[in-house]
Amino acid sequence: MNDHQLKPTTTDAGIPVASDEHSLTIGPDGPILLQDHYLIEQIANFTGNASPSASPTPRAPARSTISR
């Protein structure tokens, strides 16, 4: 493969995708359809990979009594 031939974008199953920049919508400003299998696959892959270095922020210990 030379530099001028790029591999086509494919789904996880290896099926070529027409475009990875545009989603299947109803009209130009309409909602995105669930029939856009490539987009749904990409969202599933994105949300399924949690960063192991991300940890919850530590909280300060709660005060047990209120002093006045």
Q: For the residues 44-61, what does the mean pLDDT come to?
A: 67
Q: For the residues 1-9, what does the mean pLDDT come to?
A: 69
Q: Which of 44, 45, 36 is nearest to 18 (CA)?
A: 36
Q: What global pTM score does this model have?
A: 0.50
> Sorting pLDDT into bands at 50, 70 and 90, what band is 57?
low
Q: For the residues 13-24, what does the mean pLDDT come to?
A: 84
Q: Enumerate the domain spans of the chain.
A: 23-50
Rounded Cα distance, 10 and 45, in Å = 14
Token code pair at residue 5: 């031939």
Q: For the residues 26-30, what does the mean pLDDT come to?
A: 90
Q: What is the pLDDT of residue 20?
A: 77
